[in-house]
Structure 1
Amino acid sequence: MKASAKNIPNLHPKFFWDFKFDKIDWNGGYKMVIARIIERGGQNQIDEIVRFYGREKVIRAVRDEISFLPNYGIENALKFFPELQKEEMYCYLNRKDKPYHWI
């Protein structure tokens, strides 16, 4: 897939099978893009979103803004970004499988 250097990230459309690839708002939908690549991408795709959005924005999105990642996505994020801590990630704190106290 060809992409201009700064207009859109050089990612394969297969990661966005449920979207019209040419209609994706890459800047406005950055949380969806980052979450999708954290879940399903490899190191090359992570490198591309870091190049496109910047490392700080990607880490901030994963830590503070993305409300859901499956457990394997959280583990992927920790593997790709060792400076993250699971206990600081909003998606980890927001999990539905964590135990709750009830009375």
Structure 2
Amino acid sequence: MISLIFLLSGLNKLTAPIMTIGYIESVGLPFPTLAYGTAVIVEVIGGAALVLGYQTRLVAAVLTAFSRATAVSFHNDLADLNQFVHFFKNVAMAGGLLHVIAFGGGKFSIDGWRR
């Protein structure tokens, strides 16, 4: 389930690139177009790979770093309740991904079938 959050978020970014790039720019990140492309690639490919259970530990590590980076970069105004919720959502997702790093994708994953 956690993988679908990334996959759907990445696909959503594809439907509104100008708005997403504007949002990235508004928080002051350098190279917003590059950041947009990177986010889409990480979320779509990472989300799909995790759904399928392909390279689960590696993908989960990348998504953990991505979740932590987005929490700090985009949801750092903890006085704003909306940002507070999104910050801790990202932290919780990173925690769930640590579980995937520790235990892998399981027997029904592509990784499990290849063993």
- Structure 2 length-normalised TM: 0.28
Structure of higher RCO (CA pairs closer than 8 Å, 6+ residues apart): 2
